[in-house]
Amino acid sequence: MASIIADTHVVIWLVTNSPRLSVKARNAIRQTIDDGFPVLMSAVSVAELIYATEKLRLPKAVLNVILDTTHRDHYGLKVVPFDMQIAETMTSIPRDIVPDLPDRMIAATSIALDLPLITADGKIHRSGIPIIW
C-alpha cells in the first residue's frame, strides 16, 4: 500500500477516536502508517480546521493535536500543499455532483496525486474517484 488522502472529517475522527470512522477506513490508515507511508491531508483541510475552530464548531484542543501531529515525522500525518496542478484537476470533478469548494479541492488532491481518498462524504463518493470507506 502507498499513501492515502484523508478528508477533513476523517482526520478529526481519527484524532478524537470517534466511532464514526469506519472500520475499513481505520484499518487502511493503520496499514498505511504500518507500511511506512504517511497519511496525507490537504492544506485545504488545515484551513477548514482553523475556520471550524474560529466558528466554535471544533475545540481548539483538537486543532492543536492535529497541527502538532502534522509537524512530527513519526506520527504519519503529513500536509499536502494545494497547488496549480491540483487546482486544474478540479475541472474533472463535476460541480453539480460535488458543489462544496473545499470538498472539490480535497477530491482533486486525491486525483492529482493518484491516491485513494478516505471520506464519508456521499457527494464525493458519487464523483467516481477511488474512495476508502
Query: pLDDT (tens digit, 9 = 90+) per residue, 73-105?
Result: 777 899 999 999 999 999 999 999 999 999 999
Taking domain 4-127, whether its CATH number is 3.40.50.1010 is answered by: yes
Amino acid at 78: K
Average pLDDT taken over every residue of the chain: 96
Concatenated DSSP letters of 26-62: HHHHHHHHHTT-PEEEEHHHHHHHHHHHHTTSS-HHH
- Does residue 14 surpass a pLDDT of 90? yes
Residue 1 has pLDDT above 80, yes or no: no
Per-residue pLDDT at 74? 76
| Mean predicted confidence (pLDDT) in 121-131 | 95
Q: Is the pLDDT of residue 132 over 80?
A: yes
Four-residue CA torsion sign, 120, 124, 125, 130: negative
